[in-house]
Amino acid sequence: MHIRGDHAELVVGGRLDVRSAADARTVLHSALDAGRGDLVLDLTELDSWDATGLGVIMGAHRRAGRTGRRLVLRGVPDRMQRVLVATRLHRILAIEDGTGAGVASAPGPAREHHSRDTGRPS
């Protein structure tokens, strides 16, 4: 895994997995603590991630919120985008297309709508 960039934008490449998680966490936390505004993670060079790597991304998302910043994922490869959709994390994370043209999903947790009569999701 390699990460290059600064406190405003980082390019993550290779494999974000259990072997690289500690190093990635350190770099992401340092970038979040050192800057202001959005921190963009460009994932166009990312080959794969495992559950631990995804946990690093979610931890950085939470830390960004605590520091008054926002973590924005850019250029998420299709296979990884499918994981975000399957886990419904695409509803929580800010995700841009590869060009940075706009956020494809809104940050913030999704809410389930319940029917007044049954109390069950509609």
The stretch 34-45 carries a mean pLDDT of 95
Task: Tell me the pLDDT of the chain averaged across its residues.
Answer: 84
Identity of the residue numbered 45? E
Nearest Cα neighbor of 28 from 68, 65, 56, 66 is 56
User: When comparing pLDDT for 7 and 83, which is higher?
Assistant: 83
The stretch 90-103 carries a mean pLDDT of 76
Which stretch of DSSP H or E encloses residue 39?
A: strand 38-49
Q: Above 90 in pLDDT, residue 116? A: no
Task: Give the least confident one: 10-14, 52-56, 91-95, 101-105.
Answer: 101-105
The domains of the chain, with CATH numbers, are 2-103 (3.30.750.24)
pTM: 0.77
How far apart are the C-alpha atoms of 27 and 51, rounded to whole Å? 18
Q: Above 50 in pLDDT, residue 113? A: no
